[in-house]
Structures are given as structure tokens and as C-alpha cells.
Amino acid sequence: MTRSSITHCLVFLIVATSMLGAQTQDASKPQQNSQSNGTPSDQSSYLIDGEAGPCSLELTVLDESGKPVFAALIHVHFAYGFAGFHKLDLSVYTNNDGKTKFIGLPARLHSPPAIFQARKGELTGEATYSPSAECDAKHDIVVRKQKP
């Protein structure tokens, strides 16, 4: 192997490693819409920005009786971009109305659909989302107790 080809291989490995490390995000701290006095508005929903594209998804978490579920944790993981090299992990809690909103989602996923999983205590549920079919969407997640 020539010195030039070894240098090219090293540069490629450094660039590839830095791209993979820089694109993995864990956005576990939600942003909250607020009124001017700093307290949350009753109509606002918790918001998280993936900063990966133009799409968005608004979710409402409901129990089996149709009541909104406060502080349910919603988590999603997906891969996007060329060959799925970019990874995105997002988690956010619901507000008093059981609502949350994900913005900045990529328009194309490596293996759609994305599965948004909601959990509150022993209650779990999920919603699927395919941004190529519906870039800006609203879905409900009904959470139920898991059967043993």
C-alpha cells in the first residue's frame, strides 16, 4: 500500500467516525411553550425539535376511557439519511391535555414507519408515522395495561 492510499483511508475513517458521532442526538429535555409570565399556558403542548427536517407530528395520549394522560413519556428512535447513517432519539412528556409535538423530523426515514411509544406507569401504547405519506400529522395514542 502506498503512503497516499493509507492517508486517504485514514482521512475517510476520521470523517466517517465524526459524522456518525455528531449525528446521534438524545433530546431528552423537552421545551415548553410559555406565556409571557413564564408559566405554561393551558393550551400549549410540550414541544421537542429534532432539527433533522421539515416534518412534524402532534400526538395526544389518551387512556381507554378517552381521558388525556398527563406526563406520559413518548419516545422514538429512527434512522434517516444515506443508508440510515443518521440516527435520532427523541423523548418528551405530555402536558395536562395529554398533548405533545415533535417538530424538525426528517422527511424520509431509512426504514419507515417510525414507531412512537408512549408509557405512563404500567400503561403503554404506540403510534406509527411515515413522513413520506404525511409530513405534518396529528395522531392519538391510546395507552392500555400490558397483558402478562
pLDDT tens per residue across span 45-101: 589 999 999 999 999 999 999 999 999 999 999 898 888 889 999 999 999 999 999
Please give the pLDDT value at position 29: 40
pLDDT at 20: 45
CB burial of 31-59 (b: ≥16 within 10 Å; e: otherwise) equals ebeeeeeeeeeeebbbbbebebbebbbbb
The CA-atom distances, in angstroms, between 68 and each of 57, 58, 65, 90, 120 are 17, 14, 9, 21, 12
Q: Is the pLDDT of residue 3 over 90?
A: no
Domains assigned to the chain: 25-145 (2.60.40.1120)
Q: What is the average pLDDT value for the chain, to the nearest integer?
A: 80
How far apart are the C-alpha atoms of 140 and 64, rounded to whole Å?
A: 12
Task: Please give the order of strands across the beta sheet that includes 46-49.
Answer: 31-32, 46-49, 99-105, 55-62, 136-142
Number of residues assigned to the chain: 148
Strand segments, DSSP code E, in 1-148 are 25-27, 31-32, 46-49, 55-62, 73-80, 86-93, 99-105, 114-120, 123-129, 136-142, 144-145
For the stretch 90-141, pLDDT in tens is: 999 999 999 999 999 999 998 899 999 999 999 999 999 999 999 999 999 9
- The type of residue at 68 is P
C-alpha cell at 8: 486517504
Q: Is the pLDDT of residue 31 over 70?
A: no
Using CA atoms, how far apart are residues 48 and 67, in angstroms rounded to an integer? 23
When pLDDT is cut at 50, 70 and 90, the band that residue 4 belongs to is: low
pTM of the model: 0.69
pLDDT value of position 120: 97
Report yes or no: 90 and 116 within 8 Å, Cβ to Cβ. no
What's the pLDDT score for residue 102? 96
At 64 the pLDDT is 95
Checking if the pLDDT of 5 tops 60, the result is no
